[in-house]
Amino acid sequence: MERIWAPWRTVYIGKDHGDICIFCDKLQSDKDVENYVLYRGERVFVLLNLYPYNNGHLLIAPKRHVGDVTDLTPEELLELGLTTQKMTALLRRAFNPDGFNIGVNLGRIAGAGVPGHFHIHIVPRWGGDTNFMPVLGDVRVISEALDLTYQKLKEAMAATDM
């Protein structure tokens, strides 16, 4: 039998998170390393996805609790776009992916796991990262611990004065 080891997920499995917005909760905390908050801008912030599709999967969200793209201010939209651009460049420097999926899921029916707080996904992609595991087994193997991914990204940020 094959085993897939992802011990960092055990603190989330089966736990009732209630009505707490995960983005607002992490934003109000000062424990950025523990919460994998990578960057705080004036109107937006960036964190690692705790359930990544691939290593380096980032989430970019406005600091303001807003659920729809149509409710964002022009300033929030601009900073979201510029931060998406910066984080894509950062991921290139830190991990050298072959490409990216960048997108938004608006509403639960569209796949939003946190439909009440708008956020953008940046998912680094590599040739061959879709193999038989997700296709046949509906399982994705993430080869790097979140702590190490966070450390690599912070080091890449420091090297570029981001």
Q: Which residues are catalytic?
A: 119
Tokens 């998406």 belong to: 84
Q: What is the dihedral of CA 123, 76, 108, 9, to 10 degrees?
A: 50
Q: What angle do CA 9, 37, 31 make, to 5 degrees?
A: 85
Cα-Cα-Cα-Cα dihedral of 45, 50, 53, 58, to 10°?
10
